[in-house]
Amino acid sequence: MRRASLAALVLLAALPLRALPLGAQTHVLIVSGLGGETRYSARFRALSLRLSGALHERFGIPDADIVWLGEDSARAAPRYAGQSTKANVERAVEGVAARAKAGAQIVFVLIGHGAGEGADSRLSIPGPDLTAADFERLLARFTAQRLAFVNLTSASGDMLGQLSGADRVVITATKTALERNESHFGEFFVDALAKDVADTDKDGRVSLFEAFRYAAAETKRHYETEGHLQSEHAQLDDDGDKQGTGEPTGRGGDGMLARRFFLDVGRYTARAALGDPRLAALYADRFALEDQLDALRRRKAQLTAEAYDDELERLLVALARKSREIRALEGRT
């Protein structure tokens, strides 16, 4: 996906926020399932707690916009909203749908044990399970919002094909429903959001794309370190073709949307968009340079290494100088 052009940016205020959701409100629904064993129950609970904490503390999402449903019928924890029964989940979704404005971001995160295949892929929860078909129905409630569906459970792979859609990021911890062993991807995915480890493009923010890439790489490393064969292969789909990829580049095909899907508002760009014309102009220049960089990257194979690096340097130097100006104006050193 190309960045918004300068002209588009100028028009930004008049456009729906879906085009570039600066300041978009984010609603997160965390559904944590049955553990089956004490250790898994404790693990799912801890992971959910850590995730909800990070969303609030690091991404600035208000408590009211984070709903965590889990195995326990009652629990004294921030943002914990009750047991993750099918009825409660459906009720919570209705609540989010009622509150979410057009252009808002809706993020579903599933934690626990997965089972089933195809449309019957499911999350084990107290009472009747939630299937892919159920989630498809629930997601359909959000027609004016941008969606991310992150299934961190084992055997989650088949949900990707079921829930893939336009303007929607779908992440599963496994490639297929047959990858049923305990999944580690979720731990690393939450690490990516809860720690300073995943901002690989150094823009001060972690996109879903970066979180996915970090978690996928660390999962692979985990199995290599343990000397085990990797039994889970996380997938990402955001071009709506119902085909996931384990190694999205973000520069074509899957990853383009996730690369721009942030859970936070983005402090400085937000300020720029909020009415400082000098900053808006500088940002517009910066975005234009970034567009040129994207174009250059796409032409890389057609250039000699030397020519590519020379042009790369020219653009990066210009970008670095623009960056200096922006930081100076924003009062950053």
Residue numbers at the binding site for other proteins (CB under 8 A): 197-203, 213-214, 217-218, 224, 227, 286, 289-290, 293, 297, 309, 312-313, 316-317, 319-321, 323-324, 327
Q: How far is the CB of 87 from other proteins (least distance, A)?
A: 40
Q: How far is the CB of 270 from other proteins (least distance, A)?
A: 16
Q: How far is the CB of 319 from other proteins (least distance, A)?
A: 6
Q: Which is nearer to other proteins, 119 or 316 (CB)?
A: 316
Query: Are the C-beta atoms of residues 278 and 201 closer than 8 Å to each other?
Result: no
Beta-bridge partner residues of 162: none
Q: How far is the CB of 148 from other proteins (least distance, A)?
A: 20
Reading the block at residue 333, the tokens are 């050193």
Residue with tokens 């009652």: 74
> 196 exposed, middle or buried (CB, 10 Å; 0-12, 13-18, 19+)?
exposed
Nearest to 23 by CA among 205, 203, 279, 266: 266
Q: What is the spatial distance between Cα 288 and Cα 319, in angstroms, rounded to a whole number?
A: 9
Q: How far is the CB of 257 from other proteins (least distance, A)?
A: 19
AA identity, residue 137: R
Q: Which is nearer to other proteins, 130 or 198 (CB)?
A: 198
Q: Which residues of 300-323 are buried (b: 16+ CB within 10 A; e: fewer)?
A: eeeeeeeebeebeeeeeebbeebe
Q: Which is nearer to other proteins, 242 or 298 (CB)?
A: 298
Length of the chain counted residue by residue: 333
Q: What is the spatial distance between Cα 209 and Cα 204, in angstroms, rounded to a whole number?
A: 14
Q: How far is the CB of 143 from other proteins (least distance, A)?
A: 34
Q: Which is nearer to other proteins, 227 or 277 (CB)?
A: 227
Q: Which is nearer to other proteins, 97 or 316 (CB)?
A: 316
Nearest to 29 by CA among 115, 113, 116, 88: 88
Q: Which is nearer to other proteins, 69 or 289 (CB)?
A: 289
